[in-house]
């Protein structure tokens, strides 16, 4: 009888562990069982150095979405970034999207100034005004080799 109690306790522990792992996978990953509560926007950049799918999108310092895909726009010769923005977050067609870095050598993220004077962007809309990241290595090399003018 004692053996069955131990086996039952171990079984319950394993089930609870599997439920916890499943919950963490859904919360921390990009898995969604109950539908997607985001809408899609696009932004076109000259350079997206350091930006990766899964990086966060900030507005006023608050996480409002994730980057879902980065591709090349062959017609315009630019990088095309697909954004997934949480429903309820309003972004207008005069918004500005900028690639930023958290800290000197930190991860890159996309910062959005939502605008407000234009039309509201809907699913599939395009943010036209964008700012590419500053190349820190290039700036340091220019400073080190005396190419920076005061």
Who has greater pLDDT, 44 or 133? 44
User: What residues does each domain of the chain span?
Assistant: 1-34, 38-133
Tell me the per-residue pLDDT of 61-114, one tens digit each, with 9 for 90 and over: 899 999 999 999 889 899 999 999 999 888 888 889 998 888 766 788 899 998
Question: pTM, whole model, 2 decimals?
Answer: 0.67
Q: Please, which residues have CB within 8 angstroms of residue 148's CB and are 6 or more apart in sequence?
A: 139, 142
pLDDT at position 131: 83
Beta-carbon neighbour count of residue 81 at 10 Å? 25
pLDDT at position 30: 56
pLDDT at position 93: 85
pLDDT at position 15: 94
Phi, psi of 105 (to 5 degrees): -120, 25
Q: Is the pLDDT of residue 32 over 70?
A: no
Return the half-sphere exposure (C-beta side, CA atoms, 13 A cut-off) of residue 138: 4
What's the DSSP call for residue 104? S
Share of the chain above pLDDT 70, in %: 87
- Name the strand (E) or helix (H) holding 52: none
pLDDT at position 148: 53
């Amino acid at each position: 009888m004692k053996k069955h109690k131990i086996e039952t306790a171990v079984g319950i522990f394993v089930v609870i562990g599997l439920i916890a792992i499943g919950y963490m996978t859904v919360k921390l990953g990009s898995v969604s069982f109950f539908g997607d509560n985001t809408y899609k926007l696009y932004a076109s950049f000259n350079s997206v150095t350091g930006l990766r799918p899964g990086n966060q999108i900030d507005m006023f310092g608050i996480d409002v979405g994730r980057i879902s895909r980065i591709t090349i726009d062959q017609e315009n010769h630019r990088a095309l970034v697909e954004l997934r923005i949480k429903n309820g977050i309003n972004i207008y067609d005069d918004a500005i999207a900028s690639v930023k870095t958290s800290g000197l050598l930190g991860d890159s993220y996309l910062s959005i100034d939502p605008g407000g004077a234009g039309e509201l962007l809907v699913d599939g809309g395009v943010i036209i005004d964008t700012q590419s990241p500053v190349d820190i290595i290039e700036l340091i090399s220019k400073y080190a080799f005396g190419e920076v003018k005061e």
